[in-house]
Structure 1
Amino acid sequence: MIAVDNALLNKYNVPIPRYTSYPTVPYWDHEIDEDRWKAAFNMRFKECNDSQGISLYIHLPFCESMCTFCGCNKRITTNHKVEDEYIEVVLQEWELYRQQMGTTPLIREFHLGGGTPTFFSAENLRRLIQSILSYSRIADDHEFSFEGHPNNTTYTHLKTLFDLGFNRVSFGMQDSNPEVQQVINRIQPQKNVEQVVQWAREIGYESVNIDLVYGLPLQSIHRMEKTIQDAISLAPDRIAFYSYAHVPWTSRGQRLFDENDLPTAEEKLALYQLGRNMFLAEGYQDIGMDHFAMPDDLMYKIKEQGALHRNFMGYTVQQTGMVLGLGVSSISDVFYGFAQNRKTIHDYYEDIKQGNLAVFKGYFLTETDQAMRQYILDIACNGKTQFKVEDISLLETYSFPYLAELEADGLIEWDYQGLQLTNLGANFVRNVCKAFDLKLLSDEHATLKFSQAV
């Protein structure tokens, strides 16, 4: 990739979704018909279970302390007695979906997210996973992964999950500078990160990912450079380099920041450029939208084959037909529609214990939505897409004027058949995806809903 001019970065550093779904969550309906959701789930499960299998995501929301930069759904507590009840309710929810399936599910992809999955004891995680897998088939080429907090992930956690089939792990390093860690309330000695990575390697995990965040309070070029050097020294297979999303209107913990400590837009752009250049210099390949991988990592190989996929778990090498989300606030994607679970543990427990699915909002896609989603997926995963003749009239109205501007800035090459990202445009994947986000293009108030692109 070539160097990016700061003027161009500033121009395209605007509020844009990360496109883990289309339509994006702010445009979903605020209530969803459970019977219609069940019908969509049943239809999709029958279509894809035997051929592709399913992806399973479990949200484990508990954290012992609050990282103030975090925008995830979490529950802060030091009371580990909450583990047992939460697991029981998640298993009840799983049973409700199993009753809908009518046959044994084939699980190809499994991810534990949070919150802090390693808040739970290794034994409780074993009980949860074993209970689900005992009623399932596991694909030979499965991808099982989890998010581990370096401060509380133990060797036993790693070994237990590995023995259950987990082969990938992601550790949240975020930033290694003590002053930055202090202001985001995540005190995490670098030796803890080094230890868990070493354990994962010894046990035999196929891939280790490190999460870093740029744009945090008190970050500077010098500090960011040291953080990236610390991360690279661990030789992770993948690095996720996330832009800090400052959305204090939805994440109350971010209101604790002195906004004067946040990098300016220009400084944040410089942090991004620094990180990208350092990763590329070390041999990492830019996968797109914040992700880098080594050439021998499966994610890069799959991208080169044109088979990369993207869902609510981010980029994935698996092409499953649906994602089933379990747990509070989890999101499910059954191709024909999306549904999100209740966001509070109280409401989630109440629904499940009454024998109801905990879905409370969602969206059922029209044929136009499905078409636009495919264009966005093609661009996010493969850097190119082909237009369908039946969509041209709609694209002429909404997308083509925007594509013309992207072409003028050297980000794409396009005609009425399709488009291709340029080397320069590969730095602006989200901006190019926006050309097919008809909801956003027609919503003049959209700037209130999303974080900046960089």
Structure 2
Amino acid sequence: MSNLPEKTALIRKYNIPGPRYTSYPTVPYWDEKSFSTEAYLKTLKRSFDESNDKEGISLYIHLPFCESLCTFCACHKRITKKHTVEEPYIQAVLKEWQMYLNLFGRKPHIKEIHLGGGTPTFFSEANLKHLLTTIFASAEIDAKPELSFEGHPNNTRRTHLQTLYDLGFRRVSFGVQDYDPIVQRAIHRIQPIENVQSATSAAREIGYTSISHDLVFGLPFQTWKSMESTIRRTIAQKPDRLAFYSYAHVPWIKGVGQRGFDEKDLPSGEEKRALYENGKALLQELGYIEIGMDHFSLPTDDLYQSMINKKIHRNFMGYTSSSTQLMVGLGMSAIGDSWYGFAQNEKELEAYYARLEANELPLFRGHILTEEDLIIRRHILNLMCLLETHWDKPEQQFTALPAVLDRLEEMQQDGLIEIKENALYITELGRVFARNICMAFDLRMLADKPQTRIFSMTV
């Protein structure tokens, strides 16, 4: 497959802990001590007034419940088989949404909604319909909204798919991870391929126009033989796009949930990168195009079209084909983004409920971006989405730019980037190291290097 020897030395050199850059500043560098809900809500209202009529807003709704624990998962979730938790949670989310409506002072124009988890299809069709129709009734919905959700193949029923399709959803992402039974047992995700095939076929028959499968490389006991089998069985189902994620092994953050196997069971850095490089070569051979850092799509999917048109965006959900200036996060642990600031909800369910019961928005930490933060945020977004960035205009420049370019000199010598005419371009060789390249711009991290490991390895 891919020619790895030329990259081996570079992988050894650059495989260090680093952020995934779904935000800048990254969460560990949010200025939580000085964060105030009042300050964040001012930025949110400013963003709403600037952008609602022009482009609309996005909603991310976190639905945290899962019936069983997958030991590879780093998401905030609550494990339970009691479905009586559904209705109280939906009422809490709707109360939170009403607080934002009161802040806006007029009807929002909703362009995008994404249901994430946890497991959104843990919820019944009736409860999902109630949640969404109540939100729709309070807002103006875009003529062509971008509505998507994450479905667990083991519990996504055809009626789930039909209900959400009837509400306007056209994109669904199914978590596959790996089909190898040894890997599935290690990550506690027993998921027969028949369940994935059934959910995928049903979505296609109903009329979903973008079906995505999520695969993860670097899981315990993975080999290229098993990974190749997973990819070929995935491609046989012809998903429109693929997320091919690197497993983030961070048990020091997530605790027991990521200790369902021993460290020795994980592929080494070089073995892990070989899984990706060989997987990438196979996906491209089978007609998929690499998008950004860890996504692939068919040329017919709008993710590819957004990349060609330079409209692709990256946020806490990964790459998206469109964006809005303002994203409201609803639900336990959800993160909102006003462009000028970030804010995260309480991560524990009881605290989330208690804040709402006290008639408070359940925000517990965040960050208000400085002018310098905003400039650097744009550069990092450009690099992660477009693999290039420019500083030929005054508003793209910042005081520390010469020092950033000095730090990038060695990467240029290694062939990872090209710098010319006030612009930086990531080479094909450098795509592997996009996170490392962005780290050269990360003034927050450079000023306060972590004393303990808080990030996953970049490779």
Same fold at TM > 0.5: yes
List aligned pairs for 1:293-442, cutoff 5 A. 293-387=297-391, 388-389=393-394, 391=397, 393-397=399-403, 399-415=404-420, 417-442=422-447
Find the counterpart in structure 2 of residue 243 from structure 1: 246
Distance in 1 (alpha carbons) for counterparts of 2:323 and 2:194:
36
- 1:150 is aligned, of 146, 150, 153, to 153
Write the letter of the residue equivalent to 2:251: P
Instruction: Report the secondary structure of 1:250's partner residue.
Output: helix
The count of residues paired between Structure 1 and Structure 2 equals 453
Find the counterpart in structure 1 of residue 282 from structure 2: 278
> Using a 3 Å threshold, how does the CA distance of structure 1 residues 44 and 393 change in structure 2: closer, same or farther?
closer
Is 1:227–2:230 an aligned residue pair?
Answer: yes
List aligned pairs for 1:30-45, cutoff 5 A. 30=32, 32-45=35-48
Find the counterpart in structure 2 of residue 203 from structure 1: 206
Find the counterpart in structure 2 of residue 96 from structure 1: 99
Single out whichever of 269-278 and 73-82 deviates more from structure 2. Answer: 269-278
Single out whichever of 223-232 and 422-431 deviates more from structure 2. Answer: 422-431
Is the Cα–Cα contact under 8 Å of residues 47 and 339 in structure 2 kept in the other structure? yes
Distance in 2 (alpha carbons) for counterparts of 1:392 and 1:419:
15
Distance in 2 (alpha carbons) for counterparts of 1:255 and 1:372:
36
- 1:18-54 CA-partner distances (Å, limit 9, x unpaired): 1111000011133531221221111111110000111
Find the counterpart in structure 2 of residue 28 from structure 1: 30
Write the letter of the residue equivalent to 2:295: H
- 1:76 is aligned, of 61, 74, 79, to 79
Give me the TM-score of the superposition, normalised by structure 1: 0.97
Find the counterpart in structure 1 of residue 69 from structure 2: 66
Distance in 2 (alpha carbons) for counterparts of 1:267 and 1:385:
31
1:389 Cα offset (Å): 4.2
List aligned pairs for 1:104-115, cutoff 5 A. 104-115=107-118
Is the Cα–Cα contact under 8 Å of residues 144 and 168 in structure 1 kept in the other structure? yes
In the alignment, structure 2 segments of 5+ residues that lack a partner are: none
Is 1:257–2:254 an aligned residue pair?
Answer: no
- 1:167 is aligned, of 165, 170, 173, to 170
List aligned pairs for 1:185-204, cutoff 5 A. 185-204=188-207
Single out whichever of 297-306 and 260-269 deviates more from structure 2. Answer: 260-269
Give me the TM-score of the superposition, normalised by structure 2: 0.96
Please list every run of at least 4 consecutive aligned residues from structure 1 whose deviation after the TM superposition is greater than 3 angstroms: 1-4
- 1:69-97 CA-partner distances (Å, limit 9, x unpaired): 10000000000000010000000000000
1:319 Cα offset (Å): 2.5
Is 1:118–2:121 an aligned residue pair?
Answer: yes
Write the letter of the residue equivalent to 1:8: L
In the alignment, structure 1 segments of 5+ residues that lack a partner are: none
1:317 Cα offset (Å): 1.5
Is 1:267–2:271 an aligned residue pair?
Answer: yes
Is the Cα–Cα contact under 8 Å of residues 329 and 340 in structure 1 kept in the other structure? yes
> Using a 3 Å threshold, how does the CA distance of structure 1 residues 49 and 301 change in structure 2: closer, same or farther?
same
- 1:393-434 CA-partner distances (Å, limit 9, x unpaired): 41112x112211111111111146121122222332222222
Is the Cα–Cα contact under 8 Å of residues 288 and 427 in structure 1 kept in the other structure? no
Identity value in percent: 52
Distance in 2 (alpha carbons) for counterparts of 1:15 and 1:156:
43
1:283 Cα offset (Å): 1.2
- 1:271-326 CA-partner distances (Å, limit 9, x unpaired): 11111111111111110121011111111011011111111221111131111000
